Structure 1
Amino acid sequence: MTVIANEGEAQAWLRDVLGVDAAAMERLARLATLLIEENQRQNLVAKGTLSHVWQRHVVDSAQLLGIVPRGTMPQGAWLDLGTGAGFPGLAIAALEPARAVTLVDSRRLRTEWLARAASQLGLQNVTVVLSRVEDLPTQLYSVISARAFAPLDKLLHLSARFSTPQTLWLLPKGAKAAHEVEELPASWNHMFHVEQSLTDPQAGVIVGTLVGQDRAKTKSSMRHTRDLGEVRGAKR
């Protein structure tokens, strides 16, 4: 897979591969401008990434729509956890204005920015929630995303209750994406795999569905860990 290397390639990919129309491209351009302006007031993203905002933030988010085959992306509400500066959730909302997108972040300044940005982009499909994930009321979603929000095991413990076996998880990660899937406890019944990121040759996107958690395996694992600790304690 060819990795997008610059701003021109990023915008070309959006138009030519993802098929983004002129109206959506204009919304994305406006989002990029708003981000750069707001970043002077609060540290939304690393300043060094602003010179290639289309590559590092816009396409890094938009690629989630191109990972699954055309026509198979689940329709329905999208939940983006730990949204921060609005990626991927706000970019997804700009690309799919007919889809309900809920953006969750626990920092007030970030949620105030998200609400302002959504309003200035004319996005009526966006709901911004100031909350920790633990405190969110349980609701089911068709798609769940989180961009480097938490290690996979912790993320599932926090948010599996928002998922059905049909919910698609799209989780942009760094270089340890495959390792996180491999290290996931056997108690999680899942169908996760890793796709190469379009914007970083070292990064991956965890993709798949979650059936649920086998409580018996969880208890067995906890007993095994406790027994090992007791044996090690006895040897000291």
Structure 2
Amino acid sequence: MTEEDAKAWIRDRFGAVGEGRMAELARIVVDEASRQNLIAPSTLDAIWARHIVDSAQLIGLADDVEGDWLDIGTGAGFPGLVVAALTARRTILVEPRKRRVEFLQSAAGALGIADRVEVVCGKVETVNIPVAVISARAVAQLSSLFASAVQCSRRRTLWILPKGRTAREEVAVAEQTWHGVFHVEHSITDPESLIVLAKGVSRR
């Protein structure tokens, strides 16, 4: 997917307003990247495909789920800020690094979405807020993610976890200690990358 393809994908699904918000987010991230290592420098020139669309595709996977969205280890705002900017959901961004927390708060204000974005400075283990959706992008193994955030999950909570090419192996390991209904989807930005969807997650 080229950068122009990625912009068109956002425009087709979220309109000119959505595209404009993503353009502003891209500008903010690239600008801040000169001061702190938000995303891999090699991906700055492909930010629309590698980060924006890669995050925005997760929204469609939760179309039939209503309620708050919790994003673990939000970092540069992917997918947390993307979800908040492209939907009306209340979004909780959990990030342990103070400089990134300050960046996320500033970015939410600049995007005009601060009223529905809560940024928590700390680890998700300290958060106990029931939510409808939990996401985490390039944070930890499935078993570790479930252990760290299960207190925020309810029976119908949908976990959306991009896992690259190791998804099926991680599901197999997680099933040894966790109950749940697991499904794997292909990423639209990289056909070899996979996204794990899980519901009914609980300890065995």
- Shared fold (TM-score greater than 0.5)? yes
Deviation digits for residues 69-104 of structure 1 (CA, Å, limit 9, x no counterpart): xx52x11110000001110000110101x2100000
Q: Are 1:148 and 2:138 counterparts?
A: yes
The counterpart of 2:43, out of the listed 49, 55, 58, is 49
* Structure 2 residue 171 is matched with structure 1 residue 181: yes
**Equivalent residue, structure 1, for 2:149:** 159
Distance (whole Å) between structure 2 residues aligned to residue 22 and residue 12 of structure 1: 10
Deviation at 1:122, TM superposition (A): 0.7
What is the alpha-carbon distance in structure 1 between the residues aligned to residue 201 and residue 195 of structure 2?
19
Note the C-alpha offset of 1:183. Answer: 1.7
Which residue, 51, 69, 74 being the options, matches 1:83?
74
* Aligned residue in 2 for 1:229: none
Map 1:95-110 → 2, pairs under 5 A = 95-96=86-87, 98-110=88-100
Q: Aligned-pair distance for 1:187? A: 3.4
1:7 aligns with 2:8: no
Q: Distance in 2 between matches of 1:163 and 1:122?
A: 28
- Could you say what the CA RMSD is over the residues aligned between the two structures, in angstroms? 1.2
User: What is the rounded CA distance, in whole Å, between the counterparts of 2:34 and 2:201 in structure 1?
Assistant: 43
Q: Cα offset for 1:15?
A: 2.5
1:190 counterpart = 2:186: no
Question: Distance in 2 between the 1:196 and 1:90 partners?
Answer: 22
2:24 matched to which residue of 1?
A: 30
Give the CA deviation at 1:185.
3.6
Equivalent pairs counted in the alignment come to 203
CA distance, structure 2, for counterparts of residue 66 and residue 99 of structure 1: 13
Segments of 4+ moved more than 3 angstroms: none
- Write out per-residue CA displacement over residues 183-207 of structure 1, whole angstroms, 9 at most, x where no aligned residue: 2143311011111111123211111
TM-score normalised by L of structure 2: 0.95
CA distance in 1 between counterparts of 2:75 and 2:59 reads: 20
Secondary structure, in 3 states, of the residue corresponding to 1:75? coil
Is this contact kept in 1: 2:150–2:201, CA < 8 A? no
Correspondence for 1:234: none
CA positional deviation for 1:211: 3.9
Deviations 1:175-227 (A, max 9, x none): 1011101221433110111111111232111112124122xxxxxxxxxxxxx
Alignment of 1:212-223 (within 5 A): 212-214=202-204
